[in-house]
Amino acid sequence: MTAHAQPSATDQVLAEVRNHIGHLTLNRPAGLNALTLDMVRNLQHHLDQWAQDPQVKAVMLRGEGPKGFCAGGDIRSLHDSFKAGEKLHEDFFVEEYALDLCLHRYRKPVLVLMDGFTLGGGMGLAQGCDLRIVTERSRLGMPEVGIGYFPDVGGSYFLSRVPGELGIYLGVSGTQVKAADALYCGLADWYLDSTRLAALDEGLDRLVFGEHPLKDLQGLLAKLGTQVLEDAPLARLRPVIDHFFALPDLPSIIEQLRAVTIGNSHPWALDTAALLETRSPLAMAVTLELLRRGRHLSLEDCFAMELHIDRQWFEYGDIIEGVRALIIDKDKQPRWNPPTLGELTAQRVDQFFEGL
């Protein structure tokens, strides 16, 4: 085993190899481990190195601190780059998507611990991994529509493959889910109580690898966790979600949600309609189209579609206003353009997909 330099605690990504496992830890706990371009490059560098190293049998990905694995990309820096006429926001997405795709295609098993918040860019990393672990603290979501953006990082691929219309619902509403729903939706593979995480680390440090490292890791997880949790709220809501979110467009979805007066879904339907009316109309409509197209596209084509929209979005989308209202001025009063779905034309949505 080659000796590895000890990472400095100030590094934004900590990397070390123990017992044939490459450990990567996102180390910006104060920022909920949100990704910077340097972090993306650092992760890519280590993954490329370990892919070629026969001594490394698997990779473990996690975030520092109990609050989150990764709450997305460092969106403030991307906003500032666009405003200053620089290129960081363009480079970031190209390299972030390449990293996500690398994880989806990685030749060695990758475990990810989605403890705490796993949002946006954090989901992009996690959904490419083979063994996706959640705990009782996990909160998973693609909340982009809330800041006038759309679910990227492969979201058009992995959300569109969630059963029924659940992925459409999660993407268009930006709703976060907990562990039971994450397992039900197929966005996680294993549940471990956070009290078992120390035992997981001990097990990884002692694991004897045979010819099939993935099976060895699954065997360890089977001793510590479970793959099904009872009482997933989305399982109960599935029939109504499948009904409403299969409707042809957002005005129909909201209108019918508001019209529901019977059964247990009534409060949920009204709450969902109210939530959708706070989101960027343009972002929701583009998300709906993006996810419906994504169902029929390969993973690579989904990333290409997202990048195509990205290249137009900072100028013509709602993200700059969303970041202003929610992150910079914090007035929480975004002035979406247009302000309502009624004023949004089909042409405005279609323009983002032209030339694909």
* Two tokens, residue 68: 């989150």
- β-partners of residue 133 are 113, 190
Cis before residue 338, ω within 30 degrees of 0? yes
Q: How far apart are CA 101 and CA 180, in angstroms?
A: 26
SS3 330: coil
Q: How far apart are CA 284 and CA 44, in angstroms?
A: 31
Q: Which of 96, 115, 152, 306 is catalytic?
A: 152
Q: How far apart are CA 58 and CA 112, in angstroms?
A: 11
Q: Catalytic annotation on 242? A: no
* Contact between 33 and 64 (Cβ < 8 Å): yes
Q: How far apart are CA 147 and CA 152, in angstroms?
A: 13
* Contact between 40 and 93 (Cβ < 8 Å): no
Burial class (CB in 10 A: 0-12, 13-18, 19+), 305: buried
Q: How many CA atoms lie within 13 A of 316 on its CB side?
A: 12
- CA dihedral (104, 105, 109, 113) in degrees, to 10, reads -20
* Two tokens, residue 215: 């099976």
Q: Which of 96, 144, 181, 310 is catalytic?
A: 144
Q: Catalytic annotation on 144? A: yes
Closest CA to 4 of 12, 208, 18: 18
SS3 87: coil
Q: Quickly list DSSP for 292-313.
A: HHHTTS-HHHHHHHHHHHHHHH
Q: Which of 63, 116, 121, 124 is catalytic?
A: 121
Q: Catalytic annotation on 152? A: yes
Closest CA to 159 of 306, 346, 343, 349: 306
Q: Which of 22, 63, 73, 155 is catalytic?
A: 73
Q: Catalytic annotation on 136? A: no
End-to-end CA distance of the chain: 47
Task: Name the strands in the sheet holding 117-119, side by side, starting at the edge strand that comes first in the sequence.
Answer: 68-70, 117-119, 139-141
As annotated, the active-site residues are 73, 121, 144, 152
